[in-house]
A = this chain, B = another copy of it.
Amino acid sequence: MSKKSAEISLAGMKISKDTETPLYRQLYDQFREMILDKRLRPGDRLPSTRSLSTETGISRTMITLSFEQLILEGYLVGKPGSGTFVAGTVPDHLTLAGKSATTRAKTKRRHFDLAKDVLPKEIISRNSNKEEIVPFQIGTPSLDLFPYRIWQQTGGQVLKKFKSFNLGYDDALGYWPLRQEIAGYLRQARAVKCETEQVIVVTGSQQGLNLIAECLLKKGDAVWMEDPGYHGAKFSFLNRGVKICPVPVEDDGLNISHAIKHCRGAKLAYVTPSHQFPLGVTLSLAKRLQLLDWAKRKNMWILEDDYDSEFRYEGRPLASLQGLDTEGCVIYSGTFSKVMYPGLRLAYLVLPSLEMVEEFKKVKAMMDRQSPILDQIILSRFMSEGHFLRHLRKMRLLYDERQQTFINAAKELVGNYLMIKPNAAGMNLTGWISKKIDLQKLKTEIKKQGLAIPFIRDYAMEFFNPRGMMFGYTAFTKYKIRTGLEKLRSCFEKSLL
């Protein structure tokens, strides 16, 4: 630090009083850059704040501030009585010679390989963008009829008393009053046997799936999956390194005998018994009992994903599979995304034992500590005040009506090309395409028209059924349904063989 103590020149400093950057910050940036660029070397003495102030017209306070910061960060050292020097601790070979540290707009792009190899990329990437709700997007609630005013009032009441809630770290299992509401709702509406203690709140059903995969499955374990089936679940399992055993789906649900024959040692069965995704069939009572019996004898877990069974248009919602389980082998999963709005990201699991709850709690805490508190409080009030069930009833009537509208319009407009049957539940319909149609051509035309109509085969693993299509109808008015189907008709017409 002593080899060269002459004061350095300020040539090349660009200080502007017109920019939004404070003066001390400009000084700091420029000195820092000069040090990193080697224009200032270890041991160089800086001018006194007084002379710098005279030279630049900047106040001594500003200059002192910038020096103090540079000293704090190790660029400069102050020696009482003799001045301020460039620090000697910046190793020569390490400085960023020849590079401008602050004016560099972009850093280099180092090559980067995702550390994963099991991800079916086409499936994930499809889901990670902002989604425009175009006909006939599946699984989308009618957001125009969400009870905004009540949600606003409920939210307002919660925010008014926000101080009285625990805003620190809460139980990783979720906000207790919300867990109570969920348990009460499930017992009453879904015939789920559960106590509040068995309910875990998760940040969306996808997190619930990951939690189950993390806690119950090891790499190499086998899992029965409905084929075609829900890609989000497949993805969580694949990500865990699990072996998927595709099981064909029949009119009365999963072909359990096929599964037993081909994959006896499965650790878990993933099922959507109330309303199979994507085909919309119901798992029959006989098969439910067969599945439970197998699970009991083979120590297999059953994951019942009850993603949209709140919407049942004939009779009451079907009782859950979980309600039939006497052996504690069913994990029940449900979500608020379909009933409330997807951006809420609140879902839940019901676990069969408190022992399991304790272990899941630790892993949930590792995932995101707990789900955010504000939405949980608002939702629990929305439920306890009866708004949730009212909203559900209203949507059930609306969706029933929209399904009728869709089916009638489809018969009229595309009946020649598409066979479509009513479905007693859920938010989607399955349509079967006439053999007169070139499927590849159709797919291209649908894309060109800006429609969102997935093919059943997009969800297939081994058992392809090429001629099925899926339609969401819940988010669309009569007008949108008709114009969407008119577009689809022109797609069909252009795809005739």
Contacts and interface: CB of A to CB of B under 8 A. Distances in A.
Interface of A: 32, 36, 65, 68-69, 72-75, 87, 89-91, 93-96, 99, 101, 104, 107-110, 112, 114-116, 119, 121, 124-125, 127-131, 133, 140, 143-144, 146, 148, 151-152, 155-156, 159-160, 162-163, 165-173, 193, 203-204, 206-207, 210, 214-218, 221, 235-236, 239, 284-286, 289-290, 292-293, 299, 314-316, 318-319, 323-329, 341-346, 352-356, 359, 361-375, 424
B68 A130 contact: no
A169 B327 contact: no
A215 B116 contact: yes
B168 A162 contact: no
A367 B214 CA distance: 12
Contacts of A68: 314-315
B115 A236 contact: no
Count chain B CB atoms within 10 A of each CB in A114, A115, A286, A325 and give the residue with the most: A115
Contacts of A170: 130-131, 343
Nearest to A125: B362
Given A128-B364, A210-B366, 19 more contacts: A73-B319, A74-B285, A74-B286, A89-B285, A90-B285, A93-B293, A94-B286, A107-B327, A109-B352, A112-B353, A121-B362, A124-B366, A125-B362, A128-B173, A130-B169, A148-B162, A203-B372, A239-B366, A372-B375
A206 B368 contact: yes
B359 A112 contact: yes
A285 B87 CA distance: 10
A315 B87 CA distance: 18
A131 B375 contact: no
A404 B382 CA distance: 45
B110 A218 contact: no
A326 B115 CA distance: 23
Contacts of A315: 65, 68-69, 72
A332 to B, nearest CB: 12
Contact of A115 (B128, B152, B218): B218
A374 B292 CA distance: 40
Given A115-B217, A155-B159, A365-B127, A329 B110 contact: yes
22 contacts: A69-B316, A74-B284, A75-B285, A89-B285, A94-B286, A108-B328, A115-B221, A119-B363, A125-B362, A128-B362, A128-B369, A140-B168, A143-B163, A151-B162, A155-B156, A155-B374, A167-B341, A203-B371, A206-B367, A239-B366, A372-B372, A374-B375
Given A129-B171, A352-B109, A366-B239, A286 B327 contact: no
A168 B89 contact: no
A110 B362 contact: no
Contacts of A166: 130, 343
A115 B356 CA distance: 11
B216 A115 contact: yes
A57 B172 CA distance: 49
Contacts of A119: 362-363, 366
A159 B167 contact: no
A449 B307 CA distance: 48
A143 B167 CA distance: 8
A161 to B, nearest CB: 9
Count chain B CB atoms within 10 A of each CB in A93, A128, A239 and give the residue with the most: A128
A127 B367 CA distance: 12
B193 A168 contact: no
Contacts of A369: 127-128, 204, 206, 342, 345
A110 B214 contact: no
A169 B232 CA distance: 14
Contacts of A217: 115
Contact of A156 (B131, B156, B374): B156
Contacts of A216: 115
Count chain B CB atoms within 10 A of each CB in A163, A217, A239, A368 and give the residue with the most: A368
Given A151-B162, A152-B160, A203-B203, A128 B285 contact: no
A366 B65 CA distance: 46
A69 to B, nearest CB: 5
Contacts of A210: 366-367
A204 B367 CA distance: 9
A99 B293 CA distance: 14
